[in-house]
Amino acid sequence: MGHAENKRDRLEQTTHMLLTTQEGLRAGEIARYVNCHRSTAQRYLDDIDRAYGLIDMGDGRYRLDPSTYLSEVRLSLSEALSVYLALRRFARQTTHAPNFVISALQKVAPALRHPSLTDQLKQASLELQYDRLASEAHTAVWETMLRGWRENIVIRIDYRKFKNSEPRIHEVEPYLFEPATLSHGTYLIAWSRTRNELRTFKMWRIKRATLTTEKFEKPDNFDFDDLLRTAWGIWYGQGTVKVELLFSATIASRVKETRWHPSQEIIEQEDGSLLWSVEVAATLELLSWVRGWGSEVEVIGPPEFRRQIIEDARKTMQLYEEEEFKEVTQEDGL
C-alpha cells in the first residue's frame, strides 16, 4: 500500500471514530487506534477540523457532529446492490414518506453508479413524492423526534394507540428507530418517563411531538439487538413463549426457504410435513403471519394461541356461511 493510500485509510478511520464517539477522542488515543505517531494523528485532527469543523469536548478531546458531516461513500457493485435492496424495500413499505426520505433516495441513487439501480431508486423517490408524501404535520413530528434523538432531549408526544380515539401524552427518551421486518411501519423504542418503562411507539401514530428543556443520558450497556432477539417483529418482553406449528408437506419447501426467526427449529416429519417452532416474547405479531398460511398450517401450541386461531377460523366460516345462505335464499325467491 502506498503512502497516499495509507494516509487516506487512516483519515477515514479517524473520521469514523470521531463521528461515533460521544466523549470525544485525544490525538494520543487516535494514534494508538490507527497505528501512527501522535504528531501524525494531530495533523489528521487539524485536516478534519479545517474540512468539517470539530467539536471541542474539553481536555484535548474532539468529536465530529454527524448532522453537519457529509461523507463520501465508495461502493463496489455488490455493496451498491445491498444498499439498493434495502432502500427499495423501505420505499415499497413506506406509506407516508417525509421529505428527507425522498431527498435521501435522490442523493444516494447516483452513488450506486449503475444505471438500472440508479433509475429504479429515482423512480421510487418520484412515486413517494407524488403518491405517498407525508403531511407537513407528520414530517414535523419526524424532525422533532430526530433532533431529540440526536441531542438527547426529552420529548413530549401525543400518541394515539390502535382503536383509541383520544391520544395519550408521554414524555419519552428516544433511543432507537426500528423498521418492522414482516410488516409495514417504522417504530420508536423509547423510555417513557410517564409510564416508567421501555415502550414501543409506531411513528405514524405520534400526532404531535414537542421538545422539552430536559436532557437525558442513553444507557451505555443497553443491547438493543439482544432486546429484539426474542421479538417476532418489534414487540419484545422479559419472558418467552414457545410456539409450535405443523406445516403441510405441500408448502414445506417454501417454509424452509426462509429463516423467519433466529430461534426457529425445524423437524421434518416422515410424511414430508414440518414441525416448526420458535421462542418469542409475544404471539400478537405472529398471529397474522400464521393466518396467512391458511389451512396449510396447524397450531400445535401453546393452547391459548391455538384456541385463538380456532376462534378466528370459526368466525371466518360463519361469515361465509351467512353470505352463502343469503345467496341461496335470493336465488330461491325466499
DSSP state, residue 328: H
- Would you write out the chain's pLDDT as a tens digit for each of its 334 residues? 445 557 778 888 898 888 888 889 999 999 999 889 999 999 999 988 888 889 999 999 999 887 666 666 677 778 888 888 888 887 777 888 888 888 778 777 777 777 888 888 888 888 888 888 888 898 899 999 999 998 999 999 999 887 667 888 999 999 988 887 766 778 899 999 999 988 889 998 999 999 999 999 988 777 777 777 878 777 776 778 999 999 999 999 999 999 998 899 999 999 999 999 999 888 888 898 999 999 999 999 999 999 999 999 999 888 888 666 565 555 555 5
Same domain membership, residue 314 and residue 252: yes
d(CA 90, CA 143): 18
d(CA 200, CA 112): 34
The model's pTM is 0.65
Same domain membership, residue 141 and residue 86: no
* Domains held by the chain: number: 4
d(CA 297, CA 258): 16
Inside any domain, residue 27: yes
Ordered DSSP codes for 194-223:
TTTEEEEEEGGGEEEEEEEEEE----TT--
Report the run of H or E that residue 59 belongs to, with start and end. none
Determine the structural domain holding residue 299 and report its residue range: 241-319
Same domain membership, residue 217 and residue 157: yes
- Indicate the burial class of 294 (C-beta count within 10 angstroms; 0-12, 13-18, 19 or more): exposed
> Could you tell me how far CA 156 lies from the centroid of its own chain?
22
Inside any domain, residue 283: yes
Q: What is the CATH number of the domain that holds 163?
A: 2.30.30
Q: Work out the angle at residue 125's Cα, subtended by the Cα atoms of residues 119 and 80, and round it to the nearest 5 degrees.
A: 50
Q: What is the CATH number of the domain that holds 53?
A: 1.10.10
Inside any domain, residue 327: no
